[in-house]
Chains A and B, each alone.
Chain A
Amino acid sequence: MAEYLILIYGNETAMEAAGQPLWDELMAGHNAFGHKHEHAIRGGNALQPKSTATTVRHDGDRVSVTDGPFAETKETLGGYYLVEAKDLDEAINIAKDVPAPNGCVEVRPVMVFD
C-alpha cells in the first residue's frame, strides 16, 4: 500500500458567488466522500481562503514574510485528503469522488524514505 495526497483546487471567487446553496452541497459531498472512503482516508482538512495566506520566503540568508499565497492563480488550494491506496489507479478512483465543483484535484504520491 502507498499513501497519496489529494490536493483540492478550486476557484474561490466562483465559490463565493455561488453562495450558501453550493457550500451546503459541497459539505454534503465531503460527508458522503468521507463515508464511502472511510477505510482509505488517513487525514484531510479544508483550508481558509487564500486571502488568509502568508508566504515565508528564503532569499539567500534573508527571510521575507509577505501577505498572500506564493503564486496568484485562478484556482487555489482549498483543502486536501491523505489517502491510502494500493496503486495509482486506486488513488485516482478515490480522487474522482472528491467534490471539486469549480476546479480539479491533484494526486501526488507521498515519498517513502527507506
Chain B
Amino acid sequence: MLAATVRVTRDLDLAEECAQDAFARALITWPRSGVPANPGAWLTTVSRRRALDLLRRERVLRTKLPLLVDDATAPGADVTLDTDGEISDDRLRLICTCCHPALSRDAQVALTLRLVCGLTTTEVARAYLVSEPTMAARITRAKKKIQAARIPYRVPAAEELPARIEAVLDVVHLLFTTGHTAPAGADLVRRDLVERSVDLARLLHALLPDDAGVAGLLALILLTDARRATRIDAEGRLILLEHQDRALWDQERIAEGVALARAALQARPPRRFALQAAIAAVHAEAARWEDTDWREIVALYDLLLQVWPSPVVALNRAVAVGMADGPAAGLAAVEALSDEPQLAGYGYAAAARADFLRRLGQDDAARTAYEEALLLTENEVERAFLQSRLEEVNNR
C-alpha cells in the first residue's frame, strides 16, 4: 500500500501521510458501511487517491517533490487500481530504493524495517538497541539523501538487478543473523527480527521466484530457524547443535528449506546463500549428531570459499575439518588462520580454538583461549556457556 502510494507521490513522507489518512478513513467508514471485500485494495486505492488529490491541489508535482520515479512511469490523472503485477513491482521498487548502495548499511536496514516491514521508528530503534532520537535522525537523514541526491524509485535495469538484489539479500541476511544470535543483551534470539527477515525473504522469493540467491537465502533462514525451539534449555542456557533434541526441530520449515536449497543449488556458479543453505540442510537431514556428514560439509565449505572468500567462512570450514578428521586436524586448521586480521577480535575464533584444545586435553592453552573468547563475547547466553566450559577445564 505504501509502495503503491510512493509511486504516485514520489515522496516517502507524503506517502506515509496518505497511508495513515487511508487508515483513518477506514476507521470512520468501515463501522458504518462494513469492511470491504478486499480491505488491502480499498486502503491502497484510498491512499493513492488522497495522494493524487494532494498532488493536484497543491501542484507540487513539478516544484516541491523530488523525482523518485523516472519519467516513463510518472503518474497521471489516469492512475487506476493496481493489478497484482503492479503491486509486486511497487514493492520491489521500494525495497530497491531502501537498499540502494548509496545509502549506508545502517540506513538500508532502518529504512527497510520502517518502510517495507512497516515497523514504527520506536520499534526499529528497539530492534537495534539505539535510542529513538538516534534512529529517527538516521531515518530522516536517509530520506533526505534519497530526496536531495534523487535516488530513483524504480526497479533497477536488468544488468544492474543482480548486484542490487545482492545488496537487498545482504540486508535481509543481516536482519536474520542479528535476530538469530543477538550481538548483545540477555536474550539469545530476537524473534521480531527473525520474523521480519522471514517475511522479507518470502516476499522477495514471491517477487523473484527464479533468483537462486533469493531462494538460497530463504532456504538458509528457514533451515537455521527450524532449530529455534531447541537452542536453549528451560533455564535459558545454550544447547549446542550436538545436544539439541532433533525431534523438536520444525519439520515443516526443514522440508520447505531443503526443497528451496535443492532448487537454488542448480544455478551455476552456485550462489553464496544456496551453499550456506545446503550446509544447513546437511545438518537438518541428519537424524542424529553422529550421522552428520562432515565430509560433505567440508566439501560445501570449500565451494563456498570459492564464491565467498571470507575469513569467517574459512573458520567455519576449519571447525568442520575438526569434526571430520578429529580435534588435532581442527586445531591445525584454526591456527592456520591466526594471521587473519578480521578474526583477531572475533569471539568465535577463540571459542573454536578453545574447544579443540579442551578436547585434546591441553588445558592451560584451552583456559587462555576460553578467557579470550569471553572477552570478545557480549551475548549473555553465549557468555554463560563459555564460562561453564572454562570451569569444566579448571576443575579437571
Q: What residues of A have a CB within 8 angstroms of the CB of B63 in the complex?
A: 114
Asked if A109 contacts B148 (CB within 8 A), the reply is yes
Interface size on A, residues (CB 8 A): 10
Among A11-19, A21-29, A58-66, A84-92, the stretch in contact with B: A84-92
Give bound CA distance, A86 to B102, whole Å.
Answer: 16
Q: How large is the interface on B (under 10, 10 to 19, 20 to 34, 35 or more residues)?
A: 10 to 19
* Beta-carbon contact of A86 and B148 below 8 Å: no
**A32, CB-defined interface residue at 8 Å:** no
B151 close to A87 (CB less than 8 A)? yes
B67 and A87 within 8 A (CB):
yes
On whether the beta carbons of B152 and A89 are closer than 8 Å, the reply is: yes
Q: Would you call A87 and B102 a contact (CB within 8 A)?
A: no
Is the C-beta of A2 less than 8 angstroms from some C-beta in chain B? yes
Give A111 to B144 CA distance when docked, in angstroms: 12
Residues of B within 8 A of A92 (CB): 102
Contacts A86-B67, A87-B70, A114-B63 hold; do A109 and B102 have CB atoms under 8 A apart? Answer: no
B146-161 interface bits toward A, Cβ cutoff 8 Å, 1 = contact, 0 = none: 0011111000100010
Q: How far is the CA of A86 from the CA of B151 in the complex (A)?
A: 10
Residue of B nearest to A89 (CB): B152
Residue of chain A at shortest CB distance from B152:
A87
Chain A residues positioned under 8 Å from B152 (CB to CB): 86-89
**Bound complex: CA of A92 vs CA of B71, how far in Å?**
18
Task: Contact check, A88 vs B71: say whether CB atoms are below 8 A apart.
Answer: no
- Cα-based distance from A76 to B151 in the complex (angstroms): 27
Distance in angstroms between the alpha carbons of A111 and B150 in the assembled complex: 11
The reply to whether A88 and B70 contact each other, CB–CB distance below 8 Å, is no
- Measured between C-beta atoms, what is the minimum distance from B152 to chain A in Å? 4
- Determine the residue in chain B with the shortest Cβ distance to A111: B148
Q: Which of A68-107 contact B (CB under 8 A)?
A: 86-89, 92, 107
Given contacts A86-B67, A87-B70, contact A109 B156 (CB under 8 A): no
Nearest CB on B from A5, distance (A): 12
Residues of chain B within 8 A of A111, CB atoms compared: 148
* Distance, CA A12 to CA B109, complexed state (A): 37
B102 touching A88, Cβ below 8 Å: yes
Residues of B within 8 A of A87 (CB): 67, 70, 150-152
List residues of B (53-111) whose CB comes within 8 Å of A's CBs.
63-64, 67, 70-71, 100, 102
Give the complex CA separation of A92 and B150 in angstroms. 11
Chain B residues contacting A86 (CB-CB under 8 Å) are 67, 70-71, 150, 152
Nearest chain A CB to B149 CB, angstrom units: 5
Shortest CB distance A84–B (Å):
12
Closest Cβ–Cβ distance, residue B92 to chain A (whole Å):
15
Report the Cα distance A86→B74, complex, angstroms: 13
Chain A residues with Cβ below 8 Å from B151 are 87-89
Give the nearest-CB partner of A108 in chain B.
B149
Name the residue of chain A whose CB is nearest to the CB of B156.
A89
CB-CB under 8 A from A109, the residues of chain B are 148-150
Q: Of residues 145 to 190 in B, which have CB atoms within 8 Å of A's CB atoms?
A: 148-152, 156, 160
Contact in complex: A2, B150 (CB < 8 Å): yes
Q: How far apart are B254's CB and chain A's nearest CB, in angstroms?
A: 40
* Minimum distance in angstroms from A103 CB to a CB of chain B: 19
Interfacial chain B residues near A107, Cβ < 8 Å: 149
| Distance from A97 Cβ to chain B, minimum over Cβ atoms (Å) | 15
Of all chain A residues, the one with the shortest Cβ separation from B71 is A86
Q: In the complex, A92→B160 CA distance in Å? A: 12
- CB interface residues, A 19-44, toward B, < 8 Å: none
In the complex formed, the residue of A with least CB distance to B150 is A87
A114 to B60, CA, bound (A): 12
**What 6 pairs across the A-B complex have the smallest Cβ distances?**
A87-B152, A87-B150, A109-B149, A88-B149, A88-B151, A89-B152
B residues adjacent to A (C-beta < 8 A): 63-64, 67, 70-71, 100, 102, 148-152, 156, 160
Q: List 24 A-B contacts (CB under 8 A).
A: A2-B67, A86-B67, A86-B71, A86-B150, A86-B152, A87-B67, A87-B70, A87-B150, A87-B151, A87-B152, A88-B102, A88-B149, A88-B151, A88-B152, A89-B151, A89-B152, A89-B160, A92-B102, A107-B149, A109-B148, A109-B149, A109-B150, A111-B148, A114-B64
A residues near B, CB below 8 A? Answer: 2, 86-89, 92, 107, 109, 111, 114
